[in-house]
Amino acid sequence: MNRKRKIVLGTGVVAVAFAFAAGIALRDATDDDGGEQDRGADAMDGMPGMDAGSAMDMGGANAMGGMDMDGSVRLTADEVATFGITFGLAEVRPLSRTIRTVGLVEFDETRMTYVAPKFGGWVERLHADFTGQPIRRGEPLLEVYSPELVTAQEELLMAARMAESVGESGVEGVADGARDLYTSARRRLAYWDISDEQIDRLVETGEVRKTLTLYAPVSGIVMEKDVFSGQAFQPGKNLYMIADLSQIWLSAEVFEADAGMIREGMPADITIAAIPGRSFSGRVEYVYPTLEDRTRSMRARISLDNPGGQLKPGMYATVRFTADLGETLTLPSSAVLQSGERAIAFVDMGGGELMPHELTLGVRGQGHVQVIAGVEPGQRVVTSAQFLLDSESNLAEVMKAMMAQMNMSDMEGMDMEGMDMQGGSMEGMDMDGSSMDGMDMSRPDSTGGR
């Protein structure tokens, strides 16, 4: 039984190979009276399941012209027109790429200010009493009571009276010492953010005030408020955060594959969903040096003027960067066929021959792709119907592989005992009821070749 299986398997391979060979011969036949086609049909006589009609079908499998064993395809001018095949050029040209991504409007960190007293105390009254309140530099924020402030005021008034009383003293160093003491008392209050106007008023009136007012150091919006009337606070506690929104940052997320093309100073075009019909122009101010682990993206910062406060932190934006890649060898994007891990292009070799070339690609740009290796400048490439050409080319590769299986070295497992090759006949071989009586192996050209 094993012997019969080997014979059937081996003979089947031979039969299929002969069928493909006969098909190729039939397609390329040039004899007007069909004589060579008749010889190809005769070569198939007697083969189980194969006759002249099936041989013709095999020959017609290649509907797009000739195939070569190197994977190239040959087409006539009529076939090029019929299948709508178009061509482009491999050329050196300027290449640019538009990178489209998303962005988020954020605070300008250089314009954010915290109000944190340098002394402890209690809040007696709030002037800025809700989050989102606009405020100008020098406007009151809150009034506070602090034992430290009361003591500092008393020391200031005492130093002021002493400096006044000994100012005319003739004793050397006494007047200078009193003035130094007064200056030191004023400086202490100034270090605690008590304004010069308040200090001057205190000296003029000569009265210690229970509460003192803290004023806004900058203009902006109260974005954080962590204080209430009557609340005690410790030195250094953040009571307010004031943000100047006249200028904002836009943080754009750039994927890792595009990160290398983003440069400082690169122009950016920005649209905001909340402000339809308007676009903003900016430039990349800073490119962050690290990538986010989870998103595998890099941040690029764009600084934008914000007159009227239209841009609000938290808004989403669409950002488009235009990267200039310089002069480089390119192909039209439509000419590149991605086949698994390979990228190929069909190059016009002349005479209707289209040969697949494997490409090493670089950056994809606007309608073109950078080519590092695979084609030369000036070569014509196919820009449409590549899938048809690729299937035709793959068929040629299959044919080549099947022809290789016909080598006797690949048929070691075939039991040829009882097969009379010299007599040109396979009569008398019974392979599970299949007969090869009609297959004449003695013909000089059994493949129907010319």
Amino acid 163: pLDDT: 84
Amino acid 167: pLDDT: 64
- CA–CA separation, 195 vs 140, rounded Å? 11
Of 229, 210, 197, 231, nearest to 128 by C-alpha is 229
40 and 25 Cβ atoms separated by less than 8 Å: yes
Q: How far is CA 59 from CA 21, 38, 44, 157, in A?
A: 9, 13, 13, 114
- Residue 300 φ/ψ, nearest 5 degrees: -120, 135
Amino acid 212: pLDDT: 93
- 403: part of which helix (H) or strand (E)? helix 386-405
Characterize 151-177 residue by residue with b for buried, 16 or more Cβ atoms within 10 angstroms of its Cβ, and e for exposed.
ebbebbbebbebbeeeeeeeeeeebee
- CA–CA separation, 115 vs 137, rounded Å? 12
Amino acid 25: pLDDT: 42
**Sheet of strand 211-215, all strands in order from the earlier edge strand to the far edge:** 211-215, 140-145, 121-126, 232-233
What parts of the chain have a pLDDT lower than 50? 1-64, 67, 408-409, 415-450
In sequence order, the 6+-apart residues with CB closer than 8 A to the CB of 16 are 402
- CA–CA separation, 259 vs 253, rounded Å? 9
Q: How far is CA 56 from CA 36, 40, 59, in A?
A: 12, 9, 5
| pTM of structure | 0.60
- 188: part of which helix (H) or strand (E)? helix 174-191
Identify the DSSP state of 167. Answer: T
pLDDT digits (tens, 9 = 90+) for 36-85: 444 444 444 444 444 433 333 433 334 445 545 556 778 888 888 887 88
Amino acid 142: pLDDT: 95
Amino acid 399: pLDDT: 53
Amino acid 69: pLDDT: 52
